[in-house]
Amino acid sequence: MATEATSDTFDDASVTSQNSKLVIAASSLGTIFEWYDFYLYGLLATILTAQFFSGVNETTGFILALAAFAAGFFVRPFGALVFGRIGDLVGRKNTFLVTMGIMGFSTFAVGLLPSYATAGVLAPVLLVALRLLQGLALGGQYGGAAIYVAEHAPEGKRGFYTSWIQTTATLGLFATLLVVIGTRSAIGEEAFAAWGWRIPFLLSILLLGVSLWIRLQLNESPVYQRMKAEGATSKAPLTEAFGRWKNLRIVLIALLGAVAGQAVVWYTGQFYALFFLEKTLKLDGMTTNVMIAAALAIGTPFFVFFGWLSDRIGRKPIILTGCLLAALTYFPLFHALTAAANPALAQAQARAPVVVSAAPESCSWQFDPIGKTKFNKSGCDITKSALAKAGIPYSSEAAAFGDRATVTIGNQHFDIGPGDDFAKTLKDVAARAGYPAKADPAQTNYPLTILLLAVLVFYVTMVYGPIAALLVELFPARIRYTSMSLPYHIGNGWFGGFLPTIAFAIVAATGNIYSGLWYPVIIAVITLVVGLFFLPETRGKSVEG
């Protein structure tokens, strides 16, 4: 009886002290600010390449910058283990207050870092260290916010309630875009590239203060309060979550049958699309940011729609349909994106394709993780390095061993050997063949480009809108924070976070600007198959147990 009374008291206190709108608003706003912090780096990857990785060639520098971006994702599962355990032991609220403080400090500190020109190799080392801190913090943040809202949600509305948390990643990116666009407009591109990029990072200290104040207004989750009062919390959440096959099996199914596919669709639709526009299609940074922001504004309400819909038809069919659509349409969508955003490049590819013919054994993979290799030992390397640096797509064909490398651009042929400087002639030849050095703003079809980007965001909303409700409902309350955080952050941290790096490395190795899409397509298909046969539907399942 005493337990029942205590439990009822906690439940009543929760209901009277804070209503559902406060829970959603406070959790969501705080999470938006954390995503703002985390995504600043990704949004400014091209500028940060010049600031922190200027000691290597341009292509390798950009991939290394993306690798530093991915470093934050690499440690997210470790943050999930550390903070997930703490969240199940001491509560949801205090855990995500700690993660928020770590995130805010790390982001602010990036704005104070010296550049490579000032500090040499120490600069990228410090940058990566701060990215690792951000990743650890984010690894503990998402699970706490999603669980907190889900454990407040009434039955039958859990998908709708948690979908507001799902909007925060995109709204955080949207907020980042607005701040970056505003700063660029205020001080100009030249000043922004030189020093103004620091301003958005430094502003994060203000957002940290607001976020902490908002989160401090919240009480602990009623489900956790009840468990604590009844002495039902886990004493060893890591062992219970991953040391017992019954729960570990669900963790693996959640990862491969839901989160991995959701992650690659998310990062393709938002970050890879952004990098593709700016780095591959050579649109200027401001234009890219504005168009991505417009697409996000169009697509974001669908997070809530699909969360609401999942309360009616289930979480599983919506997520798997999003993976299916992405796998079927990514290649035609990105081809259409090229034709809309940089039609001159699309026309040049069709009219004067570039083909490199060389003996396979004479060709290096056009990426050096250390960043010090000079690709000039063979005609194949000279050619591919020059093409990659110029951003000109090409295909490869095998030639007999010992033959000189040959490059064909339309109807023009060149034999390239060691010691030749193909880069000197490439610019003029490529220009005559119609390959643009940059996208021509007058030729870009802005409405169509934004529409195509919005379609990519629409897929994101399908897979991401219902995922929080699904993950919360899959696992028992006593080990929920630990259990759901790990598959979520392995999926989004590793499968998703490494997507830009892997995709651009594939592009660098093959010369085909679309070849990087094979990575998200394959992962989405794996999730579709595993999810179809093994993932349970969770709609209607109680979160009390």
Q: Which of 2-16, 151-165, 360-374, 423-437 has the lowest mean pLDDT?
A: 2-16
pLDDT at residue 123 tops 90: no
Map residue 414 onto helix, strand or coil. strand
Q: What is the mean pLDDT of residues 217-240?
A: 76
Structural domain boundaries in the chain: 10-340+443-534, 346-432
What is the per-residue pLDDT across 278-294, written as a single tens digit (0 to 9) for each? 888 999 988 998 899 89
CATH architecture of 346-432: 3-Layer(aba) Sandwich (3.40)
Distance CA 482, CA 496 (A): 20
> Taking the model in full, what pTM does it have?
0.82
Backbone CA torsion sign across 493, 301, 540, 320: negative
Beta strands, E only, 290-399 = 354-358, 395-398
Cβ atoms of residues 404 and 416 within 8 Å: yes
Cβ atoms of residues 459 and 325 within 8 Å: yes
The pLDDT, as a whole number, for residue 477 is 81
Task: Please indicate whether the domains covering 10-340+443-534 and 346-432 agree at the CATH topology level.
Answer: no
Q: Which residues pair with 409 in a beta bridge?
A: 354, 412
Neighbours of 420 (CB within 10 A): 17
If you average pLDDT over every residue of the chain, what do you get? 84
Cβ atoms of residues 405 and 380 within 8 Å: yes
More confident residue, 204 or 9: 204
Maximum average pLDDT range among 2-16, 200-214, 297-311: 297-311
The pLDDT, as a whole number, for residue 1 is 36
The pLDDT, as a whole number, for residue 329 is 98
What is the per-residue pLDDT across 137-160, written as a single tens digit (0 to 9) for each? 888 777 777 888 888 888 899 999
pLDDT at residue 4 tops 70: no
The pLDDT, as a whole number, for residue 365 is 64
Token readout for 72 is 């934050």
> To which CATH superfamily is domain 10-340+443-534 assigned?
MFS general substrate transporter like domains (1.20.1250.20)
Distance CA 512, CA 542 (A): 48
What is the per-residue pLDDT across 397-433, written as a single tens digit (0 to 9) for each? 888 776 778 888 888 887 876 666 777 778 788 888 8
Confidence bin at 373 (pLDDT 50/70/90):
low
